[in-house]
Structure 1
């Protein structure tokens, strides 16, 4: 038997419960993973709230979580890339990683490099793939100035670093509590809120070349007001604005995730990429974990530890 997080109706964190059931057997091309850590993401709250049915239709009873780091326990027929005992990270196409065990298509996994701790490995998949896609969408280069909204969050904390690695100057919009972290990583911090447009203009000298929105409205409109061309704006949250203004909305589904995860995990193992994890919660405290997440003031990621 195995424990996992479930919900039987749309709603807030109060609909979440931890139940017990057989994990099942992996099928063709699948593996059964014993979960060591699984990241939390804002999109899961939106799905649970019923706000993304057009994109992520839900069948009840539903499970949640797509980020996973763990150990392969059983492999299904046709699996050649992994064996029992292998340590893996991945982003699954079917939710269910907020659990002690989960069945995952082997093609959606990458090996966990030595030197990448379990909490970091569990935090990486969605945020890492989304940050990678967003940075590539706006194509920063040496000499550019790039603004990242939500710069200290799960995606933003990685996108700022990846953009900075290109040689661009990166301005990170975040609350004052996270400004020291941004400075320590070579990012120029700017406080969000009233007057943010003027603060960006003063900090950038009036020139912004690219903009990554890792938070949501009203940042696409702000980017356009700053004179950024639509093809150099990427939003990971405001899809209505993306459709209206013709800006990019590229995320984790626009990249080869296992390859990206392998690259980012290797960078972290070499000390070249910080993947901040603010807190880890046991599975039984999933409600507390999501209450923390939904305040939207986290530095980096939160993870569940079964």
Structure 2
């Protein structure tokens, strides 16, 4: 049964916000799209004339759809091949949602999306709804079916988990971009020492290939190990060209609101590396190479002017 035009328009107006909430909750653009579609089907089946505040109704339904997905996702990730990392989104992607406040920008940063995986589903929901979308404690309690006190406790725990895991201070975007370019230049030139200096002593490097692209299942730990790995990654070789099907271009860009770099081959994004840059240096390098998680990035790349590559590898 087709929805009346007014109800379709209501959902269409709410959809960008719903997608942004779902992406933060799930860490996957494709799963977020599924959650929003499921919400639309429930909206289509509802007695919409009895819904007093459509946005509140849709937010509540979407949140519960996402919570159910998070439960099943945890089971799927137990059998996931290698490390599981979130799906990166390039600058300008509407699914990134609002970025007017520091809290909104932080909530969608790649480093925080990784940390959100450590929270319980309810902690994650409370954090996202409060920090990124400004819901009151009363609204969150209504959405989740809990007391306001319980919601405040969940938010306190979520903030503490994130604060404990992000003890280093961040730096401004311009400085971070300079560090990324300096790091890439050193890696391309085969200079280990500058790479080590740009990393924190306890730096880590981890990649997600999803079992479809070779990726180490265990993280590289320590500045020297990470620097050696990154230098080897950019070292020319016929076997590497054969593996990826050519010589990819390396571009610096913005991913999830922060400086990052991408590998592009024949217009297709084949890798995204998101550095976590702090006042002490680069604390982490997280690489997404699973092609299933780069389809949206490739579409976004094709729709934007990205300029000349920093260099071509292999």
Instruction: Report the TM-score, using the length of structure 1 for normalisation.
Output: 0.26
Q: Over alpha carbons, which structure has the higher Rg?
A: 2
Instruction: Report the TM-score, using the length of structure 2 for normalisation.
Output: 0.25
The structure whose residues are more often strand, as a share, is: 1
The structure whose residues are more often helix, as a share, is: 2
